[in-house]
């Protein structure tokens, strides 16, 4: 409880002290490349895999944006193909150290679909938390690097599951910002 309060106070302090870049409000659209690694308690022995995604969203102010992401990654489970598709929706709280670098924290909800070639498909929902940084190449173009940790929630009926189903994803995206 104390740790959560300290983190909350730290985040509020950073927002109060560091001004944010004001020139990037409006819509953005981007494509991403990702590396997704299932957690140890994930179904079977699924290897880390590469994938891609589409990202669109709206930046309401210098410090807050909403993002919607469709992502797909491809994995191997003991010699069999596995496709992992996710739909994510979440917010970004944006900090600003020197322009053009804009670090942020992110959190939101996701819907998961895991397609397996030999066993039943699995679907579910959950949430994610993460952090990253947008580096503006120009006023309208940026490169984004983000690390997200996802946790599936609810009942998942999987014989070999030993705990929460989790994934960690590192994504690199290129975004075009349309502005207002």
Angle ∠(102,127,75) on CA atoms, nearest 5: 90
Give the residue, 142 or 44, on which the prediction is more confident.
Answer: 142
Q: Three-state DSSP class for 103?
A: strand
**pLDDT by residue (tens digit) across 43-97?**
567 778 889 999 999 999 888 999 999 999 988 777 777 888 889 999 999 987 6
Domain boundaries, the chain: 2-179
For residues 93-103, average pLDDT: 82
Q: What pLDDT does 122 receive?
A: 72
Q: What pLDDT does 40 receive?
A: 59
**pLDDT above 60 (res 8):** no
**pLDDT above 50 (res 29):** yes
Contact 58, 180 (CB under 8 A): no
Whether this model's pTM surpasses 0.85: no
Where do the H-state alpha helices sit in the chain? Answer: 2-17
Give the residue, 98 or 20, on which the prediction is more confident.
Answer: 98
Q: What pLDDT does 15 receive?
A: 44
Q: What pLDDT does 41 receive?
A: 53
User: Distance of CA 74 to CAs 6, 47, 110, Å?
Assistant: 39, 9, 18
* Cα-only R_g, the chain: 18
Q: What pLDDT does 32 receive?
A: 95
**pLDDT above 80 (res 11):** no
Q: Which CATH number fits domain 2-179: 2.40.160.20, 2.30.110.10, 3.20.20.70, 3.60.21.10?
A: 2.40.160.20
Report for 38-42, 121-125, 147-151: range of highest mean pLDDT:
147-151
Q: What pLDDT does 17 receive?
A: 43
Cα(49)–Cα(72) distance, integer angstroms: 10
Cα(138)–Cα(117) distance, integer angstroms: 44
**pLDDT above 80 (res 1):** no
């Amino acid at each position: 409880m104390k740790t959560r309060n300290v983190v909350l106070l730290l985040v509020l302090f950073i927002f109060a002290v560091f001004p944010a870049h004001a020139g990037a409000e409006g819509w953005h659209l981007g494509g991403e490349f990702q590396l997704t690694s299932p957690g140890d308690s994930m179904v079977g022995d699924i290897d880390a895999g590469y994938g891609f995604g589409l990202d669109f969203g709206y930046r309401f102010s210098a410090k807050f944006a909403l993002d919607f992401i469709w992502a797909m990654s491809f994995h191997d489970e003991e010699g069999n193909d596995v496709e992992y598709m996710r739909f994510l929706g979440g917010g970004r709280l944006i900090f600003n150290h020197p322009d053009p670098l804009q670090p942020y924290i992110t959190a939101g909800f996701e819907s998961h679909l895991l397609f397996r070639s030999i066993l039943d498909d699995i679907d579910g929902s959950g949430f994610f938390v993460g952090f990253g940084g947008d580096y503006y190449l120009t006023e309208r173009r940026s490169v984004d690097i983000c690390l997200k940790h996802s946790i599936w929630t609810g009942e998942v009926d999987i014989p070999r599951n030993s705990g929460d189903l989790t994934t960690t994803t590192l994504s690199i995206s290129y975004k075009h910002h349309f502005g207002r």
